[in-house]
Structure 1
Amino acid sequence: FVHIFFNPAIWIYFSVDVQMRLYTYLATEFVTYSEIYHLIQPISEIIQTLHTLKYFYWIIDPSHRSGFKPKGLNGNRPTREQIIEMRRYMLLYLKQLVISSSGTQEEELQAILNYLHTVHEDDNLIDVLDMTVNLMSEHPRTMVPAFDRRQGLKTVFKLLASSSEITRLQALKLLGFFLQRSTVKRKTDAMQPHNLFSLLADRLLLHPNSFTMATYNVLFEVKYI
């Protein structure tokens, strides 16, 4: 069952209507159907879903910047708008998988950070980044320690070098929520040894006119300034 439902190599060649029904079902009914849901291993399906997003349901061809060969090129590929919609449903159930996972959720977060660190097209990562920001904001008790132990700041500073202001703003939100919900000791240990506050300033000034009102508003929103 799981191998079929979470296997993109099967579904990518079905009609768009069938694919949409599948991912809508996974995002809405599947996560509440306990008789089936308890049979899956959340970390396995999280990794599989991120693999699906990365290799099959990409928005921008990743072969040039990210350097990996995309799949699902044969047949009638869904349109950009359809892929964006399907990704939205995939991320809804991926988020539920993370939340429902027992333990520290470190492996789950690591899988997400790996995606954000290895995908370089802003269009292919912004929705995953948005979900990560929401997880950090809504579930700080588990996300903050996991983010710290898995060195999530490396991913944040990678994203802050993006040419896209939207990506940089979301990376700032992720950093801000982490710092805002960290203890003083955790915040100090994470930022001071490598002078990351100075690096943050360098990143913000990396692009011409990058310190916009939108950047100021995000910093103010997370009470970081």
Structure 2
Amino acid sequence: MPEVIFNGADGRLEGRYHHSKTTNAPIALLLHPHPQHGGTMNNKVVYALYNAFVKRGFSTLRFNFRGVGRSQGKFDAGQGELSDAASALDWMQNYNPNAQACWVGGFSFGAWIGMQLLMRRPEIDGFVSVAPPANAYDFTFLAPCPSSGLIVHGTADEAVPEASVAKLATKLGSQKNIRVRYRTVEGANHFFGNHLDTLAEMVDQYLSESLSDTGSAQPGVAVAAAAAP
């Protein structure tokens, strides 16, 4: 997984990139949790998401927001981080001009940034949002949500009450022309602790079904919200 450096609006950004061996493979961008609370691209949840997309044949990038690791700049309360994500997506698209599809995934703060990017970039076909902080950030900009995707949350999340995420998922899932699947991981806390394998399996299953349903890397059919067994 080679290290990459690309330009952002506030300086150079550091990432890790896997290039798929498949011709015109889909691309996926993964976004890490809050920089001021220890969030980096090496977060275990982000790494699990990264591996899930790599396993399914995506060219996949995770990177550090401004001011994290070797990325230049300083924390900008979300606005600058959204700009960083857009720069990362630009880099991926320039490197993969014929990618058959484009996805974004994020964990916690990264999920909030990812959903904003989804609204600004119509070429994004699908999303995976893990523990979106629906209690702390405003998600009303998803009106309507433009793409189908997966939301995963832990039932024992101490930072983001499960009820707030369930409410968000229900709202998004009620919209026409998209399909949002909501899954919960029983007993998982905000960082998924000993439940990372379950999270990875859920994401892998969703990507597998999406690929199977459409014959490409785009989201599939409607599925009711469900809890992990």
Q: TM-score range by the shorter chain?
A: 0.3 to 0.5
Higher relative strand content: 2
TM-score (norm 1): 0.35
TM-score by length of 2: 0.35
> Highest Rg: 1 or 2?
1
Higher helix share: 1
